[in-house]
Amino acid sequence: MTLDEILQDIHVLEEDLLVFERKYGVLTETFYETYERGEEPEDDAWVLDWSEWAGTYQLLNERQGRYRRTIQALVNQPAISSLTRLIGQTARHETLPVTG
């Protein structure tokens, strides 16, 4: 997965989370804390939304971790020419080596 693809995923997931936050009037972090404690939705119609909301948040966290690992791999390159070469590959949508 390229750095560009990771960033695109992060932006789409953040937009999806905004929809839930607007619908339920609470930030995702607050929702997820209660979800993790096992709180049940008041309305049975919300069950699918809550599952999707939690899954989207988990996926966002995974993508953010992948982003950090990819950036760290780029920063740890031995020379600036390596860094610019790898960033150039990302710009051309070539796959970067991803650790983890």
Dump pLDDT digits (tens) for 43-100.
888 889 999 999 999 999 999 999 999 998 888 776 666 656 666 665 555 555 555 5
Residues 6+ apart with CB under 8 A from 2: 89, 90, 93, 94, 95, 96
- The predicted-structure confidence for 12-26, as pLDDT tens digits, reads as follows 999 999 999 999 999
Q: What is the pTM of this model?
A: 0.73
Higher pLDDT, 82 or 32: 32
Extract the tokens encoding 22.
Answer: 């607007």
